[in-house]
Structure 1
Amino acid sequence: MAMAMSSSSSSSSGVTERRGIPAAAFVEDVQTYLSQLGLDVNSSLSFLQERLQQYRLVEMKLLAQQRDLQAKIPDIEKCLDVVATLQAKKGTGGAVLADFEVSEGIYSRARIEDTDSVCLWLGANVMLEYSCEEATDLLQRNLENARASLEVLVTDLQFLRDQVTITQVTIARIYNWDVHQRRIRQVSAAKDS
């Protein structure tokens, strides 16, 4: 996620980066901007286009993480519901009938008698047995962490989208400034001849 930053005029928010995402500078005066960077129009446009591509790559990565978290949260909530159901049925003498996925699209029915523990799939071919209380605590912490991570991702995505917009506006301003400068030079050259 690291992107090289260059010196430029100050951004409107004063933030230089957010979690490794560099802030784009809002360019008010193109001439000053180009002078400060020591670049010509084509070099600065190339730099900004490259930066825009970097932003797009980071956005794709963050969107994938967001999708993963949005899929993970309902799974954690389902696990919490199952553990709560098992705890509620405990001591009543009634069994819980449950359908569980054996493989993708293949389900089996199970009859679950009173139980003091559950097995949680932790991923990477690891499953551990927890007491119902420990499982509830672990799942609750995982749910809180996933929701907090999702909030941070949403904020990062908004920041990133703002930087994309600022960069696109800067590209347009530099391009328009260059067109205007060329017209001035053409008019000046026509007057001199």
Structure 2
Amino acid sequence: MAAASSSSSPSSATERRGIPGAQFVEDVQTYLTQSGLDVNSALAFLQERLQQYKFAEMKLLAQQRDLQAKIPDIEKCLDIVATLQSKKGTGEALIADFEVSESIYSRACIEDSDSVCLWLGANVMLEYSGEEATVLLQKNLQNAKASLEVLLADLQFLRDQVTITQVTIARVYNWDVHQRRIRQAASTSSDS
């Protein structure tokens, strides 16, 4: 494995946020010579790298699903806080249904309120003024959207590395088949 990592050339891709870049192999013979690997070892290394990319992709896709679920929740909370703020001082009560437990809802009459309680996670809830809650939720929304953008860029980079690695595997394998045919033809012609 150490020999394979020393085969990096200036044309090989760089790392992105811990994801190593895949090297496109133009000349298989040169790649094998520089890396000090035989065909089977090179293919094993590339297959292992491909599996690492696939595992990383699964993790990133799970993070993407989490963020894509989190963003609408934050937006809903912002809407609710805005509705509470708009009702503040009007003397008009807000009638709302809220989830008590999974599939169990209760109706509440929310009268003029100066604060809201937000779940922070890990069974922790904190009370904020409406303005503080809005600022916090907007910041959380911006952070979630920024994280999603970075995650999508990471996924694209990762998909590119998967493609490069798959092409390299095919090139090494095809080169090996070609070399075997050449050796077989040479041994057949020398036997005649």
Q: Which TM bucket (shorter chain)?
A: over 0.9
Q: Please state how far the C-alpha of 1:5 moved relative to its aligned partner.
A: 7.1
Q: Which residue of 2 aligns with 1:6?
A: 5
User: SS of 1:118's equivalent?
Assistant: strand
2:71 corresponds to 1:80: no
- Letter of the structure 2 residue corresponding to residue 176 of structure 1: N
Deviations for 1:80-137, whole angstroms, at most 9, x for unmatched residues?
0000000001111100001111111111110000111000011101000000000000
Deviations for 1:51-96, whole angstroms, at most 9, x for unmatched residues?
0000000000000000000000000000000000000011111000
Percent sequence identity over aligned pairs: 81
**Deviating 4+ runs (over 2 angstroms):** 7-12
- Letter of the structure 2 residue corresponding to residue 147 of structure 1: K
Q: Which residue of 1 aligns with 2:160?
A: 162
2:139 corresponds to 1:146: no
After the TM superposition, which residues 50-61 of structure 1 pair with which residues of structure 2 at under 5 Å, given as runs? 50-61=48-59
Q: Please state how far the C-alpha of 1:15 moved relative to its aligned partner.
A: 3.6
After the TM superposition, which residues 121-132 of structure 1 pair with which residues of structure 2 at under 5 Å, given as runs? 121-132=119-130
After the TM superposition, which residues 16-55 of structure 1 pair with which residues of structure 2 at under 5 Å, given as runs? 16-55=14-53
- Letter of the structure 1 residue corresponding to residue 143 of structure 2: N
CA distance in 1, matches of 2:132, 2:42: 57
Q: Which residue of 1 aligns with 2:68?
A: 70
User: SS of 2:141's equivalent?
Assistant: helix
- Letter of the structure 1 residue corresponding to residue 146 of structure 2: A
CA distance in 2, matches of 1:96, 1:117: 14
- Letter of the structure 2 residue corresponding to residue 189 of structure 1: S
Contact kept? 1:26, 1:170, Cα under 8 Å? yes
Count matched residues. 189
Contact kept? 1:10, 1:26, Cα under 8 Å? no
Q: Provide the TM-score with structure 2 as the length reference.
A: 0.95
Q: Which residue of 2 aligns with 1:187?
A: 185
- Letter of the structure 2 residue corresponding to residue 161 of structure 1: R
User: SS of 1:147's equivalent?
Assistant: helix
Q: Against the structure 1 CA distance between its residues 173 and 167, is the aligned structure 2 distance closer, same or farther, given a 3 Å change threshold?
A: same
- Letter of the structure 1 residue corresponding to residue 19 of structure 2: I
CA distance in 2, matches of 1:142, 1:5: 42
Deviations for 1:10-59, whole angstroms, at most 9, x for unmatched residues?
475x5420000000000000000000000000000000000000000000
After the TM superposition, which residues 84-95 of structure 1 pair with which residues of structure 2 at under 5 Å, given as runs? 84-95=82-93
CA distance in 2, matches of 1:145, 1:163: 27
CA distance in 2, matches of 1:25, 1:69: 31
Aligned CA-pair RMSD: 1.4
CA distance in 2, matches of 1:78, 1:5: 50
Structure 1: unaligned runs, 5 residues or longer: none
Q: Against the structure 1 CA distance between its residues 5 and 106, is the aligned structure 2 distance closer, same or farther, given a 3 Å change threshold?
A: farther
